[in-house]
Structures are given as structure tokens and as C-alpha cells.
Structure 1
Amino acid sequence: MGWISPFKLNQLGMLNMNRRNVDYIARYNSRSSYPMVDNKLKTKLVVAEYDVRTPKLLQIVRQQHEISHFREMAEDLDGFAIKPAKGSGGKGITVITGRDDDEYIKASGSRVSSSHLERHLSNILAGLYSLAGTPDVAIVENLVESIPELAKYSFQGVPDIRIVVFQGYPVMAMLRLATKASDGKANLHQGAVGVGLNIANGRSLNAVQFNRPITLHPDTGLALENLLIDDWQEMLVMASRCYEATGLGYMGVDLVVDVNEGPLLLELNARPGLAIQMANGRGLLPRLRQIEALRRTHFTPEERAAFAMDTFTSQI
């Protein structure tokens, strides 16, 4: 895996925050699409119509009095995830991976009671984690169990794959791996590892943590080169379908690979970050401009994914 300096990245077409906001988010993202993308429940319901699978929905908690039903629903479950529908950056998400009598075991290994989880649900409804502090809805989903081939690289948290989609074309991708520093979350700003992925085949290119090059995962010690994502073309097609589902011209699509269900959509982001460029060792601008310059766009998600695989191959 080669490394390219930030200075060299600028020469290679690094997209900066201002240009992203003005030339791509403001220009290509309709404000009317934001409420759907910023609400995980609405996202789940809409993308299902476009053959994009998401983790199975177990329960929706909309009112305080519905929290009492949670204990009954969770009685026979060993694992699940509680999420605020309008949360961002992973805030308010609680992942339960096991059960020990009356206690639930979190991904970190700590134990919590049913009453603790019920208080957490109450806090979600009160808007503690929502984007604007407005009242929210809690969703309880099936636990995502990552395939072992990827799970072994991540520290506690489930690894996910971020794909930037522009006008329905997948233009850049990275694998995000949780670390001890990121508290088991796949958030690069908190210290997760970003591994750039070749759009052509899903093979790893570079790896970064806090925007600095690394070759080994800081906690698992595993080498991050020669990683290969299975079902790669299927994942690109899923990401591309989210364009029809949302109408968003510029977005981040976050996918996971479940051991039983295969690729699943976790969430969509109408304002995806730019660290993906450091992970890939190249800028987004040339690829975005190439799509903008197309005289005739491709009609189907399958055609757009195939075009991206043929066009945006990366060899560093």
C-alpha cells in the first residue's frame, strides 16, 4: 500500500469542505430529501421499495407508554440494537450482544439492566440524541453480526463500508474499522481506521488513522493490506439504488456485511465527510467531474455500478 501526502492529494484533486458544500451538497441535494435521510426509520421504509435490505426491524417505540412493551419484546432476544431515528454520528446507539439472566451485555462487555435500557429509550424519545434536540422515535433492530473475515480486523464494533455516491454512481469507497480509541465505533474522527477500497474490485489500497498512514490495525495488530471485500459488485449496486430511493445527488451510503443476511444498508448521509480521500490516497474531484461531464448517463443502478468499476480503478 502506497502513501500520498496531503500536498500531493491537492494536486490529485482533493475536494475541500467549502467546495463540497457549495458545488455538490447545495447543488445536487434537494432540501426536501433531507428529512427522509436524517431519519433512520423513514430511510428503512423507503429503501425497502428499491430492493435495498436493512437490518430487520423488531420494534418501534414512539410514545413513552410503549416502552413497557420493550421488556416483553426483548425477553427472548440475546442481541439487538437500539437507535434514535434522528440521531447522528452514532450518538445514542446501544448495541446488545448477549444476555446473562436479567442483565444485558453490551458490545463493550459491560452489563446493563432492563430498567437502564428503558431509561435510554425514554431519553431517545425526549430528543437527547436527535439532530436538533426535537422529540424522536426509537427503533430496535436485529443485531448485525459481521462476517468473520471482516470482524477480525475491527476492535469490538462492527466494521462498515462507506461508499460515496454521486448522481447514482459509486465514486469512492472505504472500509471503516473500530478501534479502542473510537470506543468500538466506526467513526474516523474518533479514531477509527479508514481503509481505502479500489472501486474496481473492493481490494484495500491505503489505511489511515487520524489521517496518518498505518499498515497494521492499532489494536488487533493485523495487516491491512490485501484485504478483499466479497459481494463487492452487489454492494455497489445497492449503493447506487439509494439514488433512486432518495433523489440525493451526493451522499454517503453505509453498508455492513452480515453473516446471515449478506450486505445490508445501515444508514445514509447527505453530508458525507472527506476523510475518505486520505484513506484512498486520491481526491474526489476528478471522479465527480468525470460524472458531470458524461453526455449520456446510465439508466440503471447495475449499469452505473459497472461503469464505476470500469472507470474508477485505483492502482497506487
Structure 2
Amino acid sequence: MISLFKKFEEEGILGINRRIGEYILPYNPREYYPLVDDKWKTAELARQFHVPMPYHYGVVDTFGGIRNTRELIQDRPGFVVKPANGGMGNGILVIVRESEAANGSIQYHKVDDKILSEKELQHHISGILSGLYSLDGNSDSCVLQERLECHTFFREISFRGIPDIRVIVFLGYPVMAMLRLPTKESGGRANLHQGALGVGVDLRTGKLTHAICNDKIIHIHPDTKQELSGRILPHWETILEMASRCYDMSGLGYLGVDIVLDESRGPLLLEMNARPGLGIQIANRMGLRDRLQLVERIKNSADGPATRVHRMFQEL
């Protein structure tokens, strides 16, 4: 066991305790957490900083307001239901379309082909308001958000849902990235905890490298049967600059930035995370610690997002 820990140390693997003690606590002031934990507040912040996000149709924050859900989503080409203070993809519903049942009632079609009645949708929103999916277990709000159109780059390598790109940003400098691809097991959601794929990304080029699923190394997508490595993500520099700008926007020194690629709108900020997980190291087959220490050596408070990205390109 001692030799295993020594090997992790030599490989620069960042563990949970060190992540919290050396990066999250010193660099992430607690007063800024609500800006990233609450997705509605994140959307307002992004609007102020001119960072593009999926459109928000509205928010349901009272049980009485559930009856108005239909008005917020009527005539929308699909939508997403998510807890404002949720985490790890819990409580998110992706609705691709609605239809009329034989009895004349409205029914909603999920991305995994399952169908919800209007009453079932309202029951799910009630669970969100009760805090069933919130990070702290307290009562929550429900955000109704635009459903995006998957970029053509992903159509061969993703199962139904919308993939996202997680970028770890430290003091404004992007240090590591991975692509998260939905699978049948994950129900079309890009969340590793629910069975999505994590694919390492070369930070300088945007080229896909190694892939994992349920912490096991794989080479092809289990559902699409397509090989993943070697493909190059479009809009890569724009993605990294957007992730870098989130440092200035949020005030958090160590954060995970999740970005999606929409077919017509390009890169969009999905959300920010003040406590990003460490699975990104497995997907990239390298530790975070060396890159975090690199940033501590080269950081310059005068640098803007574009400069910080190019500085990392030069140093890697």
C-alpha cells in the first residue's frame, strides 16, 4: 500500500485531501460558492460578463408555481429540467419533444425514449423543490433550460444526449480537460457517475487521447462502436478562453468549467463547479499536481484569458 501511494506521488496524482487543503480552501472563497452552485445565479452572472449560455426559459421556485410550468415550456422544441443547486447530474431531465396522448393529455418524451405524463413531470419538479437533488439537502428551485442541438462532431461518437467538455482552471489558466460522452447506461447524460465516458484531451491541440468508462480504460464507445482517440475538438481555443474567463467571472481560483458545443451557437457555458472531481486525471493518464504547480510559477495577474491560454500552450 505504501509503494502504491509513493507511485501516485511520483506521478503527480492529486488526491481528495490535497485538492481540498491546498487548492479549494485557499483559493475558493466561500462567499462565491452560490454564484456557481445556483445555476440561475450563474446564468445571470454569465449575462453580465457576456459569456454565452443555453437560454433559460424560467425558474419554478414555489410549489404553487408548478402549475405554471406548462406556460414556460409551451411550444419549445424540447427543454431541460434541472435543480438549481444540484450536482453530479442528479435530478436532470432532458425532454426532446411533447405529444398528445390518446386521452388528449400532454406527454413528454425523454432523451432515453421513456415517456412522462404531465403529472409525472410536475411530481419530479416537486421533488426538486423539496431538495431531493440539492447539494446541501435544503429546498431548491427548478430551472427550465433550452435543449441544445448536438454538434455534428459528436454524432458518430455520442449516444443521444449532449456531450460536454470539462476544463479544470487554476488561477485563470486551463490546466487539464476531458470530453464527457453520454452512453445508453447514463441515459443520454454526460455524467461520469452515471456511466458516461470520460475522454482525455490534449490541452494544446484539442485532440482526443485516452478514454475511460466506470473507471476502466476503453478504446471504443460501447454503444456507437466508434474509436475515439485522434479526433480533434472544434472551436478548441475558444473553449479554453471561455473556461479561462470563468475565473474572472466567478472569483474562484480552482474550478471546473463545463462547456457544450451547440450546432448553431458554438461553445456555450453549461455550468461551473467549485469542487470538481478528480476522474479527469484517469482520463488523461496524468496527474494534476505538476500542472497546478506550473501555474503557480508562471501566473501573472495582468494576463487576460487569451494570454493565459497561450501562455499554457507555450509551457506545455
Q: Secondary structure at the match of 1:293?
A: helix
Q: Say whether 1:241 aligns with 2:245.
A: yes
Measured in 1, the distance between the counterparts of 2:299 and 2:157 equals 42
Deviation at 1:249, TM superposition (A): 0.5
- Give the TM-score of the pair, scaled to structure 1: 0.92
Q: Does the CA-based 8 Å contact 1:151-1:158 persist in structure 2?
A: no
Q: Secondary structure at the match of 2:225?
A: coil
Deviation at 1:18, TM superposition (A): 1.2
Q: Does the CA-based 8 Å contact 1:9-1:281 persist in structure 2?
A: no
Instruction: Give the stretch that moved more between structures: 112-121 or 191-200.
Output: 112-121
Counterpart in 1 of 2:58?
A: 59
Q: Does the CA-based 8 Å contact 1:10-1:283 persist in structure 2?
A: no
Amino acid at match of 1:207: A
- Give the TM-score of the pair, scaled to structure 2: 0.92
Measured in 2, the distance between the counterparts of 1:238 and 1:39 equals 19
Counterpart in 1 of 2:196?
A: 192
Deviation at 1:298, TM superposition (A): 4.7
Alignment deviations for residues 8-35 of structure 1 (CA, whole Å, 9 cap, x no partner):
6643311111111111111111111112
Identical positions, percent: 43
Distance 1:159 1:151, change over 3 A: farther
Counterpart in 2 of 1:41?
A: 40
Q: Does the CA-based 8 Å contact 2:58-2:144 persist in structure 1?
A: yes
Q: Secondary structure at the match of 2:298?
A: coil
Q: Say whether 1:68 aligns with 2:54.
A: no
Alignment deviations for residues 181-221 of structure 1 (CA, whole Å, 9 cap, x no partner):
32322222332211110111110121112222211111110
Q: Secondary structure at the match of 1:237?
A: helix
Counterpart in 1 of 2:207?
A: 203
Counterpart in 2 of 1:304?
A: 308
Q: Does the CA-based 8 Å contact 1:151-1:159 persist in structure 2?
A: no
Amino acid at match of 2:265: E
Amino acid at match of 1:162: R
Measured in 2, the distance between the counterparts of 1:84 and 1:144 equals 18
* 1:130-149 paired onto structure 2 within 5 Å: 130-149=134-153
Q: Secondary structure at the match of 1:89?
A: coil
Measured in 2, the distance between the counterparts of 1:193 and 1:259 equals 21
Measured in 2, the distance between the counterparts of 1:152 and 1:105 equals 23
Measured in 1, the distance between the counterparts of 2:212 and 2:34 equals 32
Measured in 2, the distance between the counterparts of 1:254 and 1:162 equals 5
Deviation at 1:282, TM superposition (A): 1.1
Measured in 1, the distance between the counterparts of 2:155 and 2:302 equals 35
Alignment deviations for residues 103-161 of structure 1 (CA, whole Å, 9 cap, x no partner):
21101001112222122222212222112221211111111121021133122221110
Deviation at 1:273, TM superposition (A): 0.8
Amino acid at match of 2:153: E
Alignment deviations for residues 28-70 of structure 1 (CA, whole Å, 9 cap, x no partner):
1111111221111111111222221111011111222222221
Higher relative contact order (CA 8 A, sep 6+): 1
Cα RMSD, aligned residues only: 1.8
Measured in 2, the distance between the counterparts of 1:297 and 1:221 equals 45
Counterpart in 2 of 1:80?
A: 79
List runs of 5+ in structure 2 lacking aligned partners: 101-105
Aligned length: 308
* 1:102-121 paired onto structure 2 within 5 Å: 102-121=106-125
* 1:207-246 paired onto structure 2 within 5 Å: 207-246=211-250
Q: Does the CA-based 8 Å contact 1:194-1:207 persist in structure 2?
A: yes
Measured in 1, the distance between the counterparts of 2:204 and 2:299 equals 22
Q: Secondary structure at the match of 1:163?
A: strand
Counterpart in 1 of 2:279?
A: 275
Measured in 2, the distance between the counterparts of 1:20 and 1:73 equals 40
Amino acid at match of 1:231: H
Q: Secondary structure at the match of 1:20?
A: helix
Amino acid at match of 2:282: M
Q: Does the CA-based 8 Å contact 1:298-1:304 persist in structure 2?
A: no
Measured in 2, the distance between the counterparts of 1:79 and 1:297 equals 42
